[in-house]
Structure 1
Amino acid sequence: MVARLGLLVAGGRGARMGEGLPKALRTVGGRTLFARAEAVLRACCDEVLVCAPVDLELPCPRDRRVPDAPAGEAGSASASAAVFAAGGREGSNRSHGPLAGIVAGLAAREYGAALVLGVDFPLLDAATLRTVERALDGRAVALAAPGGVPQPLAAWYAPGAAAPLAEAFARGERSVTRAVLALPHALVPVDGERFLNVNTPDDLVRAELLLERLPS
């Protein structure tokens, strides 16, 4: 069993970014969003897996990738775990949103606590996420909540979260926030500047400017 499992949700195709690159391969401060998120997860976790559609080109070995859970199947989580065990060579190319990645990732390993992090928070640091972890304390999920806004892609998940999230996904739920907030959870106030979500070229410029003045 992995004491602390890191799940890097990196399924964004970056359509609003232009240039035909996956979002994970755009850079801030000379490092890709993928590299930044992976470094934060490695600082907090014992093992890191990458959750993304199988056709998305990412700088990650196949044996560390988890394909998104397929839609419309009650056994979606276990099916994705089986694909992971086979080396991630099968699975749907179509993305069904971040909930599909979380469901598959939570099924891929036995874990004590799992940290889920989206690839598009380039300013987020390990210290902030360790603060969020302390709020898990018997709950299913502890979420960072800058300005009171829940962030299910910057959250710690207990083992008990896996089954109800898989069931919600199999029923057709696609809103990760709605699915996660239906579980016993804690919302943890955190520094909002660290939660700049990068979706457009303008967001990349803002991230570069903020990076210069935020403590490293």
Structure 2
Amino acid sequence: MSASPIYGLLLSGGASRRMRRDKAQLSYAGKPQLLRAWRLLSAVTERAFVSMRESQRDDPLRAGLPQLVDSYDAIGPAAGILSAQDAWPKAAWLVIACDLPLLDEATLRTLIAARDPSKDATAFTSRFDGLPEPLCALWEPSSHAMLKQRYQAGSFCPRKALIQANIALLPAAGDALDNINTPEEFEQMQRQLESQS
């Protein structure tokens, strides 16, 4: 049996409360983070989509990219993952969050190369707590029933889903999956990336 095709899902539907502005719009070295992440994802997958809430559909940054609008109400990243799986149930989904400015193509290729289609997902270990990282992970079609069941039971956390699922867990990817949540973290990351470019 051949493995399912890999589609990409860039999660950009978060409310960004701690950042107090849309994280997709944050710019590093002159490029909006949404577009930086989009280029990475579309370089390694057959097709890629930007996941968003209905209210973000006409945002100029998102409007020019293939969109997948959440069909679940405000349940966080699980809304995007479930909506993608509902739309293309036979695809495996390489899901990344839009607030990972250090993520690179090599890290995504490492994840894809280590893919085990017989598992529910392939994910990196967090370098902070040793738990699976759900927002840079490859979710197989088999994970859909489990995620849907958890959703119906009122459990929306993708990380807890991975902890309970049958997954391939890879070593931490250095700082590639460090995310940015506050204006202070953004300023620090901006300085770091501009000094490297």
TM-score by length of 2: 0.85
Choose which of 63, 66, 69 in structure 2 pairs with 1:64.
66
**Residue of structure 1 in register with 2:39 after alignment:** 39
* Deviation of the 1:62 alpha carbon: 8.3
User: Helix, strand or coil for the counterpart of 1:195?
Assistant: coil
User: Does the aligned pair in 1 maintain the 2:136–2:177 contact within 8 Å?
Assistant: no
Q: What is the aligned length?
A: 190
**Residue of structure 1 in register with 2:120 after alignment:** 140
Does residue 14 in structure 1 map to residue 16 in structure 2? yes
Q: Report percent identity of matched pairs.
A: 31
Does residue 108 in structure 1 map to residue 83 in structure 2? no
Choose which of 168, 181, 198 in structure 1 pairs with 2:163.
181
User: Helix, strand or coil for the counterpart of 1:69?
Assistant: coil
* Deviation of the 1:135 alpha carbon: 2.7
**Residue of structure 1 in register with 2:140 after alignment:** 158
d(CA) in 2 for partners of 1:107 and 1:6?
14
d(CA) in 2 for partners of 1:184 and 1:4?
19
d(CA) in 2 for partners of 1:179 and 1:191?
20
d(CA) in 2 for partners of 1:63 and 1:43?
14
d(CA) in 2 for partners of 1:36 and 1:47?
16
Report Cα offsets for 1:36-57 as digits up to 9, x if no partner: 1111101111111121211023
Is 139-148 or 205-214 further displaced after alignment? Answer: 205-214
d(CA) in 1 for partners of 2:145 and 2:65?
23
Choose which of 202, 206, 214 in structure 1 pairs with 2:188.
206
* Deviation of the 1:15 alpha carbon: 2.7
d(CA) in 1 for partners of 2:16 and 2:190?
18
User: Does the aligned pair in 2 maintain the 1:100–1:169 contact within 8 Å?
Assistant: no
Give the counterpart letter for 1:114 in structure 2.
W
* Deviation of the 1:112 alpha carbon: 4.2
User: Does the aligned pair in 2 maintain the 1:103–1:165 contact within 8 Å?
Assistant: yes
Structure 2: gaps spanning 5 or more residues: none
Report Cα offsets for 1:58-77 as digits up to 9, x if no partner: 6234883222232xxxxxxx
Evaluate the alpha carbon distance shift between residue 209 and residue 111 of structure 1 in structure 2; reply closer, same or farther with a 3 A threshold: farther
User: Does the aligned pair in 1 maintain the 2:120–2:166 contact within 8 Å?
Assistant: yes
d(CA) in 1 for partners of 2:191 and 2:64?
34
Report Cα offsets for 1:85-125 as digits up to 9, x if no partner: xxxxxxxxx52111111111122124442100000101101
Structure 1: gaps spanning 5 or more residues: 71-93
